[in-house]
Amino acid sequence: MPSAVPHALEFLSLQPRVRDLLATAVTQGKLSHAYLFVGAPGSGKTETALALAECVVCPQGGDDTCDECLRVKHGTHPDVKFLSPASATGYLVSQVRDLIADVSLVPVRAKRKVYVLEQVGLLRGAAANALLKTIEEPPEGVMFILVARTVAAVMPTVASRCQQVPFQVVSSESAEKSVELDSGVTGFEARVALAVAGTPTRAKEFLASPERRQVRRLMVRAIGQLARDDSWDVLCSARDLVHRIRVAAGVEADDRKLSRDAAVKEETRRRTKDQEDFYTSSGLRRVEDTVKRELTARERSSMMEALAAAESLLRDVLVRCEGIDEPIVNDDVADVVDRLASITSTSGVLAALDAVRAAADDIAHNVTPQLALEAMLLCIKEALTCPPSSR
């Protein structure tokens, strides 16, 4: 282990090899121009990418508390760009062209720039070819961090231009203990947070967010009351869920007065505050387009968290239906789990779980979130053999 680990990387206690590799590169000034982070979902790749970005743009090498680090954490640092596929089929050539144009610009605040690309397995064809030379020979002071599940999923020509950093699968016991120690919660609370958020780091953020915890409570309530809800009630539940999901993602205001367009303009103003002289009109439009994509990604991420809460609840119902002698995850709503298990069967729960997966697939293919949730809740109601009701 290096003698000094930057504060931004200290959270990587469950990935010691990754932590030591990156800490050594940071402290010795031997960072690569391009990294490829690979590992299973829940291993902390994206969190590590942003932590490394903190180390790159922070004057103190990642102290995790300065204005530069906080801007990276909040996604507002102008020299740290986070990209994800703009379509369900992958990255668009126009995305890559915008990225290449941005790479050629000098940093706004820091001495270096960092580009984090999620789901690089979906960077293929013309889009990948357009980026190859830039990844291989980026301008001085530019770093790329690519994130994927496996090396095999990434085009060989892209993977060969990056230093590969493998992430280990984190055991559920280790993850739970980490969340318990860092957040001061009980075992079932840690298990719920991990089931909903996926990784220890995100689980800790989930526990610290009243808005995200409220989304989970609303999802549990929506599913728990399906037996007595009619179709109109289900549609209202879906509407309320979507609103709370957007509030948690920062896409809407709690009082619903802030529209999505207003949120985009407000976020664009925040990102360019005191830096207007650095931007041309076309540059401001690019910032606004980036904000739109990021808000969409945040909303989608929050939607997936809500669906994970639904899936976790239904898995507990399945445990009860099968009579498996093991603790359920959602112990705080055991009454809801038992009530649902009493009105359904194993086949019904499996069909309900299929409805959740179908909703996730719909959202990944850009189906309107409210429509996806409405369809999911109605399908779950039918699958659990909840008796129909009408006004």
pLDDT number for residue 14:
86
23-31, long-range: CB within 8 Å, 24+ apart, which pairs? 26/52, 26/55, 26/61, 26/62, 27/2, 27/3, 27/61, 31/56, 31/143
Asked if pLDDT for residue 32 goes beyond 90, the answer is: yes
Which tokens belong to 340? 């649902």
Nearest to 36 by CA among 198, 169, 158, 170: 158
- Domains of the chain: residue spans and CATH: 7-166 (3.40.50.300), 189-383 (no CATH)
Is the pLDDT confidence value at 292 over 80?
no
Rounded to 10 degrees, the C-alpha dihedral 144/150/151/155 comes to -80
Dihedral Cα 302, 305, 309, 314, nearest 10 deg: 120
Per-residue pLDDT at 87 exceeds 90? no
Q: How many whole angstroms separate alpha carbon 56 and alpha carbon 62?
A: 7
Please tell me the distance from the alpha carbon of residue 364 to that of residue 358, in angstroms, as a whole number: 10
Taking the CA atoms of residue 85, residue 87, residue 88 and residue 92 in that order, the dihedral angle to the nearest 10 degrees is -70
Question: Which segments of 118-271 are extended strands (E)?
Answer: 142-148, 163-166
Whether residue 258 is predicted with pLDDT greater than 80 in this model: the reply is no
Half-sphere exposure of 181 (CA within 13 A, CB side): 10
The DSSP line for 245-279 is HHHHHTSS-TTS-S-HHHHHHHHHHHHHTT-GGG-
**Percent of the chain as helix, strand, coil, to the nearest 5:** 60, 5, 30
Q: What is the tens place of the pLDDT at every residue in 65-86?
A: 888 888 888 777 889 998 888 8
Its pTM stands at 0.69
Q: 317: pLDDT confidence band, cut at 50, 70 and 90?
A: very high
Instruction: State in Å, rounded, how far the first CA of the chain is from the last one.
Output: 66
Q: How far is CA 296 from the centre of its chain?
A: 11
Range with the largest mean pLDDT of 169-173, 312-316, 384-388: 312-316
CB 150 within 8 A of CB 38: yes
Percent of the chain at pLDDT exceeding 90: 55
Label residue 119 left, alpha or beta by phi (over 0 means left) and psi (-120 to 50 means alpha). left
**Sign of the CA dihedral with 142 first, then 147, 150, and 155 last:** negative
Q: d(Cα 320, Cα 327) in Å, to the nearest integer?
A: 10
Hey, is 97 helix, strand or coil?
Answer: helix
Over the stretch 149-178, which tens digit does the pLDDT of each residue have?
999 999 999 999 999 999 998 788 888 888
Query: Distance of CA 266 to CAs 70, 243, 287, 297, Å?
Result: 18, 19, 12, 17
CA 354 – CA 361 distance, rounded (Å): 10
Q: Are 103 and 138 in contact (CB under 8 A)?
A: yes
Burial of residue 120, with CB atoms counted within 10 A of its CB: 0-12 exposed, 13-18 middle, 19 or more buried:
buried
The residue-averaged pLDDT of 337-346 equals 94
Cβ atoms 83, 118 nearer than 8 A: yes
Question: Which amino acid is residue 365, in one-letter code?
Answer: H
